[in-house]
Structure 1
Amino acid sequence: MASNQLVLNRFVSTSQLDKSINSLLGLVEGIAIDGVINETEIDFFMRWLSEHVELANRHPFNELMPVVQTAVQDGILDDEERQDIIWLCEKLKSTQYYDQVTADIQRLHAVVGGIIADGLISEEELRGLSDWMEDHSHLKTCWPFDEIESLITGVLADKVISPDEHRQLKDFFSEFIALLDDRTITSPLIQEGSAFVGLCAVCPEIEFDGKMFCFTGASNRYSRQELFHVVEQFGGLTSNSVSKKISYLVVGADGNPCWTYACYGRKVERAIELRKAGERLLIIHENDFHDAVADLK
């Protein structure tokens, strides 16, 4: 670690300490989510210790570090040790500087980082992650909850992770393995040009009254003006461009299910940028849009 980074760590803010605890908590859960912990994952866990060594004498790390060091010194993280670390993290987590949503999003980032720590993603890990997300459904609409949920749903549809799907998951999950890089933790980059199973929200809750909609891609049912008319009919607003005012970006159904940015252009890219910046803009599939309309008729 660079010397200037060590100096900065000595004066790290309380919010950074909270973030580190949330990251450790998610990391422990992610590594153990499939019930198996291997040597590569233990090595990844040891990285967290080495990257926080300068904080060992500061609260709350002076309480946390001895527990973590004792747990991993034999190269094995058993269930009892895992539960001890999680319990202590939960006790030390501060909600004074971060609301629960922010803390849990940081935790989700680290859970995903823990899963990819050994470079392999199994069906058991994906199902464990899916269960975790179901227990934290209050994170819906927050980056990257919807994107991860969409990927998992698509990959597990046939109960088999193909080599291409594993590569796609690995590309996406690998963005979350940096533990101290603030840019990666708070707004990880999505690799442009990568083909994902889908980035549309799964079973989104769609409201119309007072909400603004934008559309991209080709519809297999309506013209753009007809779609605008449907939205306005139920009290919604429409826009031709993506901005912070947008509540929903609707992706047209006439497209390859494994689409990339190139299929729909700058609107999807802009929507992703806004989501990473913390805007609760939903990217939804046209079929879900039509289902929501049908429910109102």
Structure 2
Amino acid sequence: MKAFEICFTGFKAIERDDLETLSESLGLLIKKNITKNLHILCIGDNAGPSKIAKANDAGAIIIDKPQFIHFIETGELPESSVKQLLSLVESRRPVQSRKYNYEPPLDKDAQPYGRFNQAANIEKAVASLHGILLGVTADSKLKPAEHAFLELWVQTHQDISLDPDIVDIVDVLSDVLKDGVIDEDEYDDLFCLINDINQIRGFNEPNSHSQINQLLGLLQGIAADNEINKKEIKALVTWLEINHQIIDKWPASVIASKLSDILEDGIITKEEKNDLLTTVQKITGNHFCDTGDASDNTTECFDDISEVLHDNVGFCFTGKFKSGSRKAVESMAQNLGAITSKDVLLSTKYLVIGTLASRDWKYQSHGRKIEKAMSLKEKGHDIYIISEDQWLAAI
């Protein structure tokens, strides 16, 4: 079964963002609207009656903020809500469900994936693979570097390869990688299997999460051979036109702006293609031809700053740090006078990104904190996004 879906309504934007961040950290799936599969609707003081009525019709349980906080802290819900939730889950269980006998996949540290994060990470990986395949086939060829990238990507995502619905995709990819060619039948099979998974798992419900991850995969795919050609640029333009709902959302907004500048005069120069490649590599954090690394990497869209102030300045840290645990780096900043927070706030001056990407980020190259910081930056807020190395050099 997928993770529990929850929707927040009737809260101010900042309060809702904080509640959603807290929910995602526990593996709950955030929905902006009442979906047919919604489990919980959390209501604030300004909750609209139409959403409440729709949630009632869907059979979702309805709780307020204090009940939600109590649930987060203790795992407890009102008895009537527990009975309703169990009844709801049972009623949505497929009549004929497939049964598999396999052990939960382990991460690179030999630790089992959590039930909630596993579902979210599989959705992220499927969207990413969809985009990568679109990218490496954009110019109708599978070049040696693209072949190597695809092969290593499969190897570095062994954590999902044991999932029953992913096995068939891995089998087709294995055939592709044997001869280095994606023929028409294999191409159709791959995208048919991906679409089937999206349909069965509910991954194709309208949301920007999967679209952004698919875009990041597409960017990785077209840049895997360390160059971008005209056919790949056309593929990017077409993808953005189809997925126009996220055109104002980072990083789609940055790519759309770059493409608009490139296509303005109808001539695509070598310099423009190289500039786009650099932008793509910064967004994805992936330089495959230089590093041979096809795993998910942290974004490199950092601000170029000459100094980092700490005294009474707001800091937030995200990702995994080579210099120590999250608690340790926060303590280092606090000892220099910084005010640290668990989330990106309006008072946050610096968001420091750890060198290592987090397995459980919402997106391949970034998580919710980076997304929020980018959104605030585009709205004109005075906030800087810097790397762990930039921060260490300043202290």
Q: TM-score, normalised by structure 1?
A: 0.59
1:20 to 125, 128, 143: 125
Rounded Cα–Cα distance in structure 2 between residues aligned with 1:192 and 1:281: 14
Question: Aligned ranges for residues 155-170 of structure 1 at < 5 Å?
Answer: 155-170=262-277
Which residue is 1:80 aligned to?
Answer: 185
Displacement of 1:70: 1.8
**2:147 aligned with 1:147:** no
Which residue is 1:190 aligned to?
Answer: 301
Instruction: List per-residue Cα deviations over 1:1-28 (Å, max 9, x = no partner).
Output: xx96252465561100111111110000
Instruction: List per-residue Cα deviations over 1:59-101 (Å, max 9, x = no partner).
Output: 3222321122123221111233122111111211233698532
Question: Aligned ranges for residues 1-297 of structure 1 at < 5 Å?
Answer: 5-8=108-111, 13-93=118-198, 94-95=201-202, 100-175=207-282, 176=284, 177=286, 180-181=295-296, 184=298, 188-192=299-303, 276-277=371-372, 283=378
SS at match of 1:73: helix
* RCO comparison, higher one (Cα < 8 Å, 6+): 1
Rounded Cα–Cα distance in structure 2 between residues aligned with 1:104 and 1:139: 8
Asked if the contact 1:26–1:114 (Cα under 8 Å) also holds between the matched residues in 2, the reply is yes
Gaps of 5+ in 1: 194-242, 246-272, 285-297
Q: TM-score, normalised by structure 2?
A: 0.45
Displacement of 1:163: 3.9
SS at match of 1:43: helix
Change in CA separation of 1:274 and 1:104 when aligned onto 2, cut-off 3 Å: same
Change in CA separation of 1:160 and 1:79 when aligned onto 2, cut-off 3 Å: farther
SS at match of 2:121: helix
Displacement of 1:274: 7.7
SS at match of 1:113: helix
Rounded Cα–Cα distance in structure 2 between residues aligned with 1:279 and 1:166: 24
Change in CA separation of 1:180 and 1:147 when aligned onto 2, cut-off 3 Å: same
Rounded Cα–Cα distance in structure 2 between residues aligned with 1:7 and 1:159: 52
The number of residue pairs the alignment matches comes to 203
Instruction: List per-residue Cα deviations over 1:226-282 (Å, max 9, x = no partner).
Output: xxxxxxxxxxxxxxxxx869xxxxxxxxxxxxxxxxxxxxxxxxxxx9873377569
Rounded Cα–Cα distance in structure 2 between residues aligned with 1:136 and 1:4: 32
Change in CA separation of 1:276 and 1:164 when aligned onto 2, cut-off 3 Å: farther
SS at match of 1:189: coil
Rounded Cα–Cα distance in structure 2 between residues aligned with 1:139 and 1:57: 31
Displacement of 1:110: 0.4
Asked if the contact 1:26–1:107 (Cα under 8 Å) also holds between the matched residues in 2, the reply is yes
Which residue is 2:59 aligned to?
Answer: none
Q: Which amino acid aligns with 2:108?
A: Q
Rounded Cα–Cα distance in structure 2 between residues aligned with 1:107 and 1:179: 15
Q: Which amino acid aligns with 2:216?
A: H
Asked if the contact 2:135–2:220 (Cα under 8 Å) also holds between the matched residues in 1, the reply is yes
Displacement of 1:151: 0.5
Rounded Cα–Cα distance in structure 2 between residues aligned with 1:51 and 1:159: 39
SS at match of 1:190: coil
Asked if the contact 1:67–1:85 (Cα under 8 Å) also holds between the matched residues in 2, the reply is yes
Displacement of 1:149: 0.5
Rounded Cα–Cα distance in structure 1 between residues aligned with 2:156 and 2:302: 26
Q: Which amino acid aligns with 2:110?
A: V
Asked if the contact 1:27–1:113 (Cα under 8 Å) also holds between the matched residues in 2, the reply is yes
Change in CA separation of 1:156 and 1:97 when aligned onto 2, cut-off 3 Å: closer
Asked if the contact 1:9–1:55 (Cα under 8 Å) also holds between the matched residues in 2, the reply is no
Bigger-Rg structure (1/2): 2
Gaps of 5+ in 2: 1-105, 287-292, 305-344, 348-367, 380-395
Asked if the contact 2:228–2:274 (Cα under 8 Å) also holds between the matched residues in 1, the reply is no
Could you list the structure 1 runs, at least 4 aligned residues long, displaced by more than 6 angstroms after superposition.
none
Q: Which amino acid aligns with 1:78?
A: D
